Each structure stands twice: as C-alpha cells, then as structure tokens.
Amino acid sequence: MREFNWQVRVYYEDTDSGGVVYYANYLRFMERARTEWLRSLGVEQDTLAQQDGLIFAVRFVQIEYMKPAKFNELLDVSVAISKPGKASVTFEQSIFQAEGQKQLLCTGTVKVACLNSETFKPQAIPEKISREISGGS
C-alpha cells in the first residue's frame, strides 16, 4: 500500500495550558487518519462491526515526539503499512506541519488487531481489506 495522508487542524481543545498539543492527542490524530484510510478503501468500521461482527483494536503503540504542534496549525498525518498480518496490521505513522517549514513533529508505530466484536478474540481480516492492504484488487 502506498502512503495515505490526512490533514487535521489543531483546535484549542487539543492543547494544554501551554498552547501546545497535549501528548495523547497525537494518538487521536493517528487514529483518525487510520479511520479515514479505511474509509478511502470503502470500509466503514460501524458497518464492519454490525455486518461482520469485527472490530479493530490497538494492541501496541510506540511513539516518538520531536517537536510540538501548536494551536491552529494544520497537520499532515501519514499512514503506511509496515507489516500486514492475517489478523493484525502494523502501521508506521508520522505527523508533520502541513504549512510553512513542514517539520516532522512525531512518528509512531501502531499495531492493530482484528477482533470478534463479541468474544474479543483475534479474527482474520476480511479478504477485501486484506487485498487492499497487499495492493491487490
């Protein structure tokens, strides 16, 4: 899969008392970008849960912060698959300033597991999504 990019504006509610993005909110931005990536593939997570009984849950996160984002900045959040699996996907994500110097703000590795929505046990990723992940049709 090629890289997917999604932009988000930093709102006041995303910042701490110093006017910079609160550290946990970078994870929210990454989550939203992965959701938009799925949507770009024609996958809606609520439909997947209702029709297939499947949900995606974060299993592992590693994040490194380089520079803070500030109120009202436009950010570019990237999503790229580093390791597709049968019941999980590992993503490499980055957040950059989208305007001005376009500096790298943080990077993260996120492993997401596909789970049965009732038992929370691992379940194979649906074939349509697996094909998209591997770049097939």
SS3 assignment for the chain: CCCEEEEEECCHHHECCCCEECCCHHHHHHHHHHHHHHHHCCCCHHHHHHHHCEEEEEEEEEEEECCCCECCCEEEEEEEEEEECCCEEEEEEEEEECCCCCCEEEEEEEEEEEEECCCCCECCCCHHHHHHHCCCC
Residue 76 annotated in active site: no
Of these residues, 14, 16, 46, 76, which one is catalytic?
A: 16
Beta-carbon contacts of 119 under 8 Å, excluding residues fewer than 6 positions away, are none
In degrees and rounded to multiples of 5, residue 43 shows phi and psi of: -110, 120
Indicate which residues carry an active-site annotation.
16
